[in-house]
A and B are shown apart, each in its own frame.
Chain A
């Protein structure tokens, strides 16, 4: 019998399921208006986030993107503050100041999920520089999409990490589209890994639907970074099931049968089948699924029961110290 509590194999499934269930619930209540603002879902890309994060220690760092729900859950964040954030509550991980594009839990090493495409890349290089200067062996994982590789910030961050040999793993989650523009229309190279060649940076392209494959290339990259060998570029070939954002009232891009084709290689289905093949009992998997369902339901209840921030809290955390902000005139 597999020891569930200590099993890395089952933890990968658990984290992928957490992301999937969390977003299924979020999308449903967003449709009813319970979550304000835009909701960019990660569904379909779970193996990319979990396969990379599972290799990291809690004190390793991570920088992510506007498609931010998957990354903190992959790195082990608790669900309650994340769901409360989506609902704009004071108990949210960002106290209701960030919302769906900024689910970032610093207690698990996150340094931000930023909604300006590519802007996390220099930050990740800087975190790597910080670790180097402080003399610790922490590494930084930086997520971004295929679209980000056209941004200047991406190239500047890659350049710094390469020239200073910083302990950073750049993970390009290539889901094929920059909002609605196919990669082929925005990226002149065939593979995102070709971008890394310009920086003389080791790179690997991996099946982003296969959590074990992602974990294997990530393990190599982390070992290199931790031992002073410098940065690595990983391209995870993956797919997002939803449009750029959900519940927009219109479809930005009709991708036809492509979505169903990709769903045949759903990362959770693939991994569940592999676990069953390797002898894990079906009821073990069912129990994990039930537990995750309950966790998400509990997070939603917590979020619903939580209070909204007060108007005064809109003035908190502009600075570390509380500077007087001139009162605005209300007419």
Chain B
């Protein structure tokens, strides 16, 4: 076992895969200067051909990843901050997501687009996005949202070896957490396998990315009030481990979905809808979403922070569900 931070785990997955497979290469803005610390030592190990700084040209180099993947390489694009995916929406949606389908299975696009969700730090609305749910609306893209170092290592390694395009959304609020991770270079977490982060019996808290550590803290406090919360981390949103979520909800009869994305059409919305469609009979109350309010993120810290999911908001939602259920019974 080695102890790694989330960022070190990402670096490790990239290093190991580049070492293992000469067709894997990394490109993005400011990699050589190692802007976020996920490329430590990679240039020294693999050179600037395979660890390639790009011009500021997201639609260009993300589209180039598609072309490079189609001819037999396995690109990892480091798109740095997730807002920078927007200039490349054309390539991501019209080329990367659709090429295999449009050409009847002739194209193969094994590529990973990594980006971080850099929110909660007074970077204002254009640098604070959590956009994974937008991409869930596009068939053809796998989406992973690791919430800790262990998952980041296992999921990213599986993503790099996946023959489909995978978007990896890295939550900056999880960056500093250190964890034991397996040293086996083939350790992987299959995409589509959620994880029970904590078992419980009264309420299911399905939490995404940075929502997971918040849910764990909330679960601890709820336990003191006699509420036993089960925390589920889907880990990948496409494919989604709906079976694990439904199994938990069938056990507890109550569900909250914690999602750092904006609430409207969020991952939480989709998960809630699927619970209602498949486990309505098991529900003892409404499903509550604890997501980010549908306004933009302001610069000023005191008015920015309360807009995201917080431990207190999760506790309030859980308490409300359990209490209202008691009243219903009485």
> Could you list which residues of chain A lie within 8 angstroms of chain B, going by C-beta atoms?
61, 63, 92-98, 102, 104-106, 111-112, 114, 116, 119, 121-131, 133-134, 138, 140, 152-153, 156-157, 159-160, 163, 316-321, 323-326
Contact = CB atoms under 8 A, between A and B. Distances in A.
Contacts of B25: 133
B104 A93 contact: yes
Interface residues of B, number: 47
A153 B104 contact: no
10 nearest CB pairs, A to B: A126-B67, A122-B63, A156-B60, A126-B64, A95-B104, A94-B104, A130-B71, A130-B68, A106-B106, A127-B67
A134 B104 contact: no
Given A159-B60, A316-B105, A112 B163 contact: no
Contacts of B65: 126
Contacts of A134: 23, 71-73
Given A95-B104, A122-B59, 17 more contacts: A98-B102, A104-B103, A105-B106, A111-B70, A112-B107, A126-B64, A126-B66, A129-B67, A152-B87, A153-B63, A153-B90, A160-B60, A317-B105, A319-B140, A319-B142, A320-B100, A321-B164
B182 interface: no
Contacts of A140: 67
B102 A116 contact: no
A326 B240 CA distance: 11
A57 B70 CA distance: 18
B39 interface: no
B99 interface: yes
B108 interface: yes
Nearest to A168: B67
A168 to B, nearest CB: 9
Residue from B60, B72, B107, B140 with most neighbouring chain A CB atoms (10 Å) = B60
Contacts of B100: 317-320
Contacts, number: 160
A163 B71 contact: no
B49 interface: yes
A288 to B, nearest CB: 30
A102 B102 CA distance: 7
B204 interface: no
A321 B49 contact: no
A321 B164 CA distance: 8
B101 interface: yes
Nearest to A140: B67
A314 to B, nearest CB: 9
Residue from A63, A96, A125, A129 with most neighbouring chain B CB atoms (10 Å) = A129
B21 to A, nearest CB: 12
Nearest to A95: B104
Given A93-B104, A98-B103, A133-B68, A159 B55 contact: yes
A123 B94 contact: no
A240 B274 CA distance: 50
A247 to B, nearest CB: 23
Interface in B81-114: 87, 90-91, 94-95, 99-108
B67 A128 contact: yes
Nearest to A123: B67
A316 B55 CA distance: 36
B239 interface: yes
Nearest to B49: A133
17 contacts: A94-B103, A97-B101, A102-B102, A104-B103, A111-B71, A122-B64, A122-B95, A123-B70, A125-B63, A126-B64, A126-B66, A130-B70, A140-B67, A152-B87, A320-B100, A321-B164, A324-B239
Contacts of B139: 318, 325
Contacts of B232: none
Contact of B67 (A63, A94, A317, A321): A63
A123 B64 contact: yes
A15 B89 CA distance: 36
Nearest to A164: B52
Contact of B63 (A93, A95, A119, A323): A119
Contacts of B164: 319-321
